[in-house]
């Protein structure tokens, strides 16, 4: 099929038009107004400012750590999880107001969203900041009630988002103070993310964004005994981001969509157009990115737009809206999934590298359904195979093991 790559990527989100669903999340890629403008020039539809606060912030150095593979110094590394102990913006609120005003004037077809944070005992602080960013021209406000480090100790960030009552209260203060739409940003560090989401919607949120980072400690230096990242011999709890948190984010989006009928801005581990498509299909209608932009820069927007556009055309989606939630509608309670549907594994002999991994896994963690021929090619005993797919998951060759259906379902 010939793909023209010219699908309509625009989306109406809370009454505001985004020319494509891609937005920079509140994070290092939105550290300054100048950076946001460069991102808009590159093709990003919108940006959420780094979180604005009224107090002065001093960041520690260093404040990042990463988990990379293959993990050997001989091969180039690829980051699949990122940890940060960075705080909110360290630039003055007054400077941000000027920059928001300037962006609004000079980029009329882009969306600028102000991220705000204060504590839950201070309605006037929230309201005053909200009115000021609205006055400066922000299209929307995102409430940061989800940062897991540094700020919760002061009653801010996830200290609010982890408490549905506080999350609702803060949302109401801001929603009552301004006319522009409010997005409440969720923390994944809760038992049931639908509870704070519902509280925010009941108190005036026009949308939910999810997720902020996942509470984490990246590792420990085995020589110094200091957890990572190390700051003068000590470390602190941080937040995990990047591709490793994508499954957590997708689950959060599905859960929120089941609980409340409201637009969702999906965040967490989006790195490619394929990830972006999955988030849309699961129910998000705008998409925010941070870590992948930190690693590869604003230029990834071209691949994101082209890939998504081609995918839509190939699958007959006329608009982003047509995609939103298609996969979420295929979620069921586990107890409702078919017990009649049966698969067993099969091995493509020509692809097998005779590593024995499928045999070992099935033997020690499965149903002893794999034996090895004399030449070490695995043989599947279909009577013993329960179709769990462990061999398929652990096989190092992409298309060597397959799961074949043996009954309808």
Ligand X SMILES: Cc1cc2nc3c(=O)[nH]c(=O)nc-3n(C[C@H](O)[C@H](O)[C@H](O)COP(=O)(O)O)c2cc1C
- Report yes or no: 271 and 292 within 8 Å, Cβ to Cβ: yes
- Backbone CA torsion sign across 83, 88, 89, 90: negative
> Which of 409, 403, 354, 350 minimizes the C-alpha distance to 378?
354
Cβ-based nearer residue to ligand X, 115 or 163: 115
Helices and strands, counts by H and E, the chain:
13, 20
Q: How far is the CB of 218 from ligand X (least distance, A)?
A: 12
| Displacement of CA 367 from its chain's centroid (Å) | 36
Q: How far is the CB of 50 from ligand X (least distance, A)?
A: 5
Cβ-based nearer residue to ligand X, 48 or 344: 48
Question: What stretch of H or E contains 248?
Answer: helix 246-259
Tokens of 330: 């295929």
Residues 6+ apart with CB under 8 A from 173: 123, 126, 127
Cβ-based nearer residue to ligand X, 135 or 247: 247
> Which of 125, 95, 129, 94 minimizes the C-alpha distance to 114?
129
DSSP string, 255-324: HHHHH--S-EEEESS--SHHHHHHHHHHT-SEEEE-HHHHHH-TTHHHHHHHHHHHHHHHTT--SHHHHT
| Active-site residue, 147 included | yes
Q: Catalytic residue among 14, 147, 358, 400, which?
A: 147
Cβ-based nearer residue to ligand X, 147 or 175: 147
Cβ-based nearer residue to ligand X, 278 or 292: 292
Residues forming beta bridges with residue 207, ordered by sequence position: 183
- Report yes or no: 325 and 257 within 8 Å, Cβ to Cβ: yes
Q: How far is the CB of 344 from ligand X (least distance, A)?
A: 37
> In this structure, how many other beta carbons lie within 10 angstroms of the beta carbon of residue 199?
23
Q: How far is the CB of 84 from ligand X (least distance, A)?
A: 4
Q: 246-259 and 194-202 helices cross at what angle (nearest 10)?
A: 50
Q: How far is the CB of 309 from ligand X (least distance, A)?
A: 21
Cβ-based nearer residue to ligand X, 50 or 172: 50
> Which of 84, 81, 193, 90 minimizes the C-alpha distance to 145?
193
Q: Helices (DSSP H) in 8-140: which residue ranges? A: 33-42, 93-106, 123-136
Cβ-based nearer residue to ligand X, 27 or 305: 27
Q: How far is the CB of 82 from ligand X (least distance, A)?
A: 6
Q: How far is the CB of 314 from ligand X (least distance, A)?
A: 25
Residues making contact with ligand X (CB under 6 A): 25-28, 50-51, 82, 84, 86, 88, 115, 144, 147, 185, 212-213, 241-242, 245, 267-270, 289-292
CA 66/CA 381 separation, integer angstroms:
42
Cβ-based nearer residue to ligand X, 65 or 362: 65
DSSP string, 169-213: HHHHHHHHH-SS-EEEEPPS-SS-THHHHHHHHHTT-SEEEE--P
> Which of 101, 12, 125, 379 minimizes the C-alpha distance to 114?
101
Q: How far is the CB of 33 from ligand X (least distance, A)?
A: 15
Catalytic residue annotation: 147
């Amino acid at each position: 099929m010939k793909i023209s790559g010219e699908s309509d990527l625009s989306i109406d989100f809370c009454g505001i038009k985004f020319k494509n669903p891609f937005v920079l999340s509140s994070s290092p890629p939105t550290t300054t107004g100048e950076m946001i403008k460069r991102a808009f020039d590159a093709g990003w539809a919108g940006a959420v400012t780094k979180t604005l606060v009224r107090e002065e912030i001093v960041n520690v150095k260093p404040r990042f750590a990463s988990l990379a593979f293959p993990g050997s110094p001989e091969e180039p590394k690829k980051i699949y999880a990122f940890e940060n102990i960075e705080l909110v913006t360290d630039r003055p609120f007054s400077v941000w107001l000027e920059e928001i005003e300037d962006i609004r004037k000079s980029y009329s077809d882009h969306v600028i969203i102000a991220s705000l944070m204060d504590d839950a005992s201070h309605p006037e602080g929230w309201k005053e900041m909200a009115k000021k960013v609205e006055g400066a021209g922000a299209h929307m406000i995102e409430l940061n009630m989800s940062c897991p480090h540094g700020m919760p100790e002061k009653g801010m960030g996830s200290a609010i988002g982890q408490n549905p009552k506080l999350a609702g209260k803060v949302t109401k203060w801001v929603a009552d103070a301004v006319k522009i739409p409010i997005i409440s940003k969720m923390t994944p560090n809760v038992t049931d993310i639908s509870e704070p989401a519902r509280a925010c919607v009941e108190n005036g949120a026009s949308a939910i964004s999810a997720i902020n980072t996942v509470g984490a400690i990246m590792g420990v230096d085995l020589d110094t005994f200091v957890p990572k990242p190390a700051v003068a011999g000590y470390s602190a709890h941080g937040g995990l981001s990047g591709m490793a948190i994508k499954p957590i984010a997708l689950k959060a989006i599905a859960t929120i969509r089941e609980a409340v009928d409201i637009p969702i801005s999906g965040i967490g581990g989006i790195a490619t157009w394929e990830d972006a498509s999955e988030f849309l299909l699961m129910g998000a209608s705008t998409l925010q990115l941070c870590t992948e932009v930190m690693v590869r820069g604003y230029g990834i927007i071209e691949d994101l737009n082209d890939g998504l556009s081609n995918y839509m055309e190939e699958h007959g989606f006329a608009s982003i809206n047509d995609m939103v939630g298609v996969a979420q509608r295929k979620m069921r309670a586990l107890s409702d999934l078919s017990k009649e549907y049966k698969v067993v594994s099969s091995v493509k002999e020509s692809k097998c590298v005779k590593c024995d991994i499928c045999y070992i896994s099935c033997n020690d963690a499965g149903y002893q359904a794999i034996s090895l021929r004399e030449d070490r090619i695995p043989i599947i005993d279909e009577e013993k195979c329960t179709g769990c797919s462990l061999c398929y998951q652990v096989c190092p060759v992409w298309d060597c093991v397959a799961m074949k259906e043996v009954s309808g379902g």
